[in-house]
Structure 1
């Protein structure tokens, strides 16, 4: 838990004026602003999620912020990475971000880590900060963050986006859930980055601000923290839902014999994609429509996973599929296939998973 010593923290006359609207709030006040100033936050990734989080955390008066990234700014970043402009193209993100943030709050110390996080440098970097905000877009880095935050007892705030949807979770907080409890570490998982699926810029802004908000609530000691659940956001429907994550006391974490997705798959009937073309099965492709249109198994039916969960979809399947027909589930990520297969299992519908061709 974040519990800083604030007796030696001074708030200047200039800061009193700057944060006056904070200090009249019941949950902040003078002591709360001192706690904010004492906070040390690391943002891993200075992209679509990192930029809005950095902007608001810097403006709120955080005393020290670290930024780690080694990417250069490109034109495709400008729709959502709001710290940058056309003049910054081909510059390093962390350097452009630091310059912009120091204009907003010169009293905030900005530390730049001009490289990517990896297993060799992660412990040395993360141990220096109180809260770690994961603003990355790849599973490999997320699992490194998960393992090191658990090892060092650091609070980890995860955010993810795709198209018009996003999710946020507070992890490793008060002996709560970890990232590996939400997404089991599995070599078959594929990264859903913005270049692949696209994203509305406002989506990344919304999720990044939520991550920053949760960080400030933890620093201020506010109890209404989104703990042990994932906050699911859909901007098309303007919908927010909390999904509670339950962990059995008998269920260990990663590196302690966690039942991996590969082990779960071993209990399911699996047929390789290259062996499915000539078989007479009903195949449901649960990917998004644009992925299905780009390439799909002949005769397969496209029902995206978000619709697959609906009761009317299950009723449709039951009404149009004979009892002696087995259904195939296809997706290029095995975790989504498992979700769809589990839904069918719960409705007593025979099914198998079609394993996608590996891309080397």
Structure 2
């Protein structure tokens, strides 16, 4: 007997996508560490699986869970967020097509589009996606796709997803929802066509697994993604899928603690004369605050800080002790980085270049007082 359909987010995080198996009643999704599956006859599949590159019960359970949390019908998991990005772009675009994306997009996304897809004959326009007028002006007869990050990486700009969706007539809308997670924002409900996550970040949540996922309500896109998922083979390992699914079970409680800490730290940083600006959508001074209030449950756990010069930014990054200097984000531990020389160095010299006085902080779930002590000690080292 199947459990009733989960209604609340925290309940769905734990139960959606998997029922205890009928053989042994395992509460957690088993790790089906098998490359191949026995068949009942010639091409008569037992349970629908033949070869793990083309489908595996552990991976499928993860896909169903994320789809449920995003209010989607379909989900496909990949070996990394960039693999998911690559497969999604290859599915939606053809030579001669045009796409629009943000002037503060993730450096890895820009690098892929600029160095790989541009050589394939894809053209692109970089705009401030917070302006629907700018998006409208960039649309051409060849535009097939608008790619949004909201909040963006690392400027934490907020784009009105519903307004952009209403604007588009023809081009499809993809939202990279990594910074928000499904707990804080559901782009499909706001009009987006497809949603992408780097599951490496908040969904996994423990900095121990790399992955990506695409969710959609389009049966056609899902079929095409499934073909490339197996045909190109950029699938997660079953162990990675299991770890990600395990992380998702605590997503709701983690995100609330992440947000509690981030909201307090953003306001604390605002008080320092050594800080030029705090970029955090939970602050009333943030230009996207009102939009974030409408489309997000809370404001997230990413904070970007602009110092008065690059030297001060570098000094802060090198001075924290509890907050570790490292790339990535979304884990239980707090991390700090200098995007211009770390995650976003590939956009140097482009229209997406990150200010060199900017520091990005991923706020973890440690005790708030300990984080503030570490931040204050690091600020004391900034001249």
Q: TM-score, normalised by structure 2?
A: 0.29
Q: TM-score, normalised by structure 1?
A: 0.30
Higher-RCO chain (CA-CA 8 Å, sequence separation at least 6): 2
